Amino acid sequence: MLAQIETGAGFIAALDQSGGSTPKALKGYGVEEDAWGSDEEMFALIHSMRSRIVTSPCFTGEKVIGAILFERTMDGEAGGKPVPALLWERGVVPFLKVDKGLEDEADGVQMMKPISGLGELLARAKAKGVFGTKMRSVINSASQSGIAAIVKQQFEVAGEILDHGLVPIIEPEVNIKSETRSQCDDILLAETKKALDALPEGRRVMLKLSLPANAGLFADLVKHPAVVRVVALSGGFSRADACTELAKNSGIIASFSRALLNDLKHQMSDDEFDASLGGAIDEIHKASIA
């Protein structure tokens, strides 16, 4: 799994929409809110969508080297098999979203909420064959102290994840609509470098970053010995724009969600669905290896 993530010529699919973002994801898939009457029914619908994605003939490790899962997806089945096992059979490395959402904005940033029961969740994920985790914070303005606090929190939790034998994806997302986006990128780069340099030898993490305002800014992070891989989120860009920006940043691969799934609709026939998903995968793959 490490070899696939470190050297695979592809990208990581983000299939980890959770409670708050699930209705929006379903609406994008053509399923309106009157289609379910409870959270269980809602999660069953989103699981059906994800099952359709991960069992599609085009969803293999040839171009999709990893997939980030919501906890319920990790615990579920697709194609009659546990989802992590099915993914790895196809050469796709499974990751798990572990954060519990964001705190309200303070000091220009949104920190992660406390992650209760993290140790138990990590042990369960490891037992199911999951390789790594993902956790997200958000940076809205160029606050030195706020961004430093985000990086500190991310790396502290990453330490616990590493202790459980999993590889953490650290995701301090810079809001691409921020009026101080470029300055946010610069501060984040400096703080992240410091945190990486302070890691004990042999401890390695992944980074999931917003595409920088200045292409190539994160080149030093791509080359850092403590970094397994740097991946980029689409962050509200259209797929075409996200792919254009990604291709400008050598060594960074995609980890897109909306930009991957936007054109998929539950009303599609299987052939239409597979063709649409395959087209998106091809486009994102091409940008990732550019």
Show which residues are catalytic: 171, 208
Residue 22 corresponds to which amino acid?
T
- Tokens for 220, please give them: 């030093």
What is the residue whose two structure tokens read 């299987």?
Answer: 270
Nearest residue to 252 (alpha-carbon basis) of 229, 280, 235, 282: 229
Name the helix (H) or strand (E) containing 223.
Answer: helix 219-223
Which residues on adjacent β-strands are paired with residue 206?
169
Helices 239-247, 270-288: axis angle to 10 degrees equals: 30
Q: Which residues of 75-99 are buried (b: 16+ CB within 10 A; e: fewer)?
A: ebebeeebbbebbbebbbbbbbbbb
Q: How far apart are CA 1 and CA 66, in angstroms?
A: 9
Which residues on adjacent β-strands are paired with residue 11?
64
Which residues on adjacent β-strands are paired with residue 112?
102
Give phi and psi for 240, each to the nearest 5.
Answer: -60, -45
- Tokens for 259, please give them: 């930009």
